[in-house]
Amino acid sequence: MIAFAAKSLYTPHTVIDQPLVLIEDGGIARIGPRGELEVPANTAVTDFGDCILAPGFVDIHIHGAAGHDVMQPASGGRSEMERFLVHCGVTSYYPTTVTAPVDKLLSALEHLATAIESASNNKAGNRRAQALGIHLEGPFLSHARRGVHPPGDLLAPSINVFDKLWQAARGHIHLMTIAPELDGAFEVIAEANKRGVCVSLGHSDADLNAAHMSVAAGARHATHTFNAMRPLDHREPGILGEILSNSRLTADVIADGIHVHPTMIEVLFSAKSPENMVLITDGISATGMPDGRYQLGSLEVELKDGKCMRDGKLAGSVLTMDRAVRNCMQFAHLDLQQSVRTATLNPAQVAGAHKKGILEPGADADFAVLTAGGEVQATVVRGVVVE
């Protein structure tokens, strides 16, 4: 058994002052104020001083980092990416696909499934972020709001195609982005929901009625809100009218100050509340790298001055989750505890990761060790400290 101490701890529901956390076999055994817990004999205690212990960050929408794209099969590149993510406080992530020819998409899903199964068998912690499941972004997207997704590879939603993707991923698809206005979308939404997939509305030109009906069919989240969506109009509110007004929908946002203006992030958080918001990075292989050309699936993207562009359009980001947490404090005027929740508990609940995003007995011992300003000082993966 080992133990961690610090100035305070965010569960993130509550704050524990002068906490002590007892770790056994990679999980949290006991947790509480130092004066209320007895440290077993011969237990090593790591004291993080004036820092704050928070759950490890969970990124449910990320295409790559550190030069690696998640649709590439090379495991060495994936290891580099996962080591990079840990230094940003991320302990769990959902590799996110990009629309591609069906054969390439099926192949990517197969190797991602293998990576996820390998990670789940490693109970000791490996000083890297862990892939928990797949986020399928495409091919069921709107041509009108496709962003940089290749138009020739977009497909009409069908249960047959969805099942092929599901089988290739061996059931590891945990999230799926879909445009609800497409013919066949409601049937696919209902089937995916039945299989436990979090269906997310995105890359969509849907009107208000189609968006509302998709929630009735089982959709319960929104992908990078405002981006690749029909704009909000006071007479024709469209998909954003449903997202902003329906408390049954949670929503995520890219809080880099580039994809969405800070004022609109404040509006979004005011409408949805921090309890229903999720921070994502939408990071690509260029994250953590110098200006240059990088891959996003089968696409080549140029990174220059902090923006990832292809054909004049934004193509993902180089945002890191720790930066997103700090930006959210500034843009939406949240305190650190509230902002941490949007990067931990909320995304874990959206994706169904029950032992992640929260610090309590029985949860995995994944921590981000933060300063009061949200800077990452260390990360703990299954009880293993990564400075």
The helix (run of H) or strand (run of E) holding residue 254 is strand 250-254
> Mind listing the pLDDT tens digit for each residue in 280-338?
999 999 999 999 999 999 999 999 999 999 999 999 999 999 999 999 999 999 999 99
Asked if the model's pLDDT at residue 124 lies above 70, the reply is no
Asked if the model's pLDDT at residue 125 lies above 60, the reply is no
> Mind listing the pLDDT tens digit for each residue in 10-65?
999 999 999 999 999 999 999 999 989 988 888 999 999 999 999 999 999 999 99
d(CA 273, CA 287): 29
> What phi, psi does 283 have (nearest 5°)?
-65, 145
Q: Which fold has domain 57-355?
A: TIM Barrel (3.20.20)
- Per domain, the residue ranges of the chain are 57-355
Asked if the model's pLDDT at residue 242 lies above 80, the reply is yes
For residue 286, give both structure tokens: 């260029």
> Mind listing the pLDDT tens digit for each residue in 56-99?
999 999 999 999 999 998 778 999 999 999 999 999 999 999 99
pLDDT at site 127: 87
Active site residues: 282
d(CA 282, CA 315): 9
Share of the chain above pLDDT 90, in %: 94
Contacts for 280 with CB less than 8 Å, ≥ 6 apart: 59, 60, 61, 62, 224, 252, 253, 254, 324, 347
Asked if the model's pLDDT at residue 341 lies above 90, the reply is yes
d(CA 98, CA 81): 17
Asked if the model's pLDDT at residue 121 lies above 90, the reply is no
The sign of the torsion formed by the CA atoms of 144, 149, 153, 154 equals: negative
d(CA 48, CA 186): 50
* 133 neighbors 94 (Cβ within 8 angstroms): yes
- Per-residue pLDDT, averaged over 353-366, amounts to 97
pLDDT at site 81: 96
pLDDT at site 120: 81
pLDDT at site 123: 59
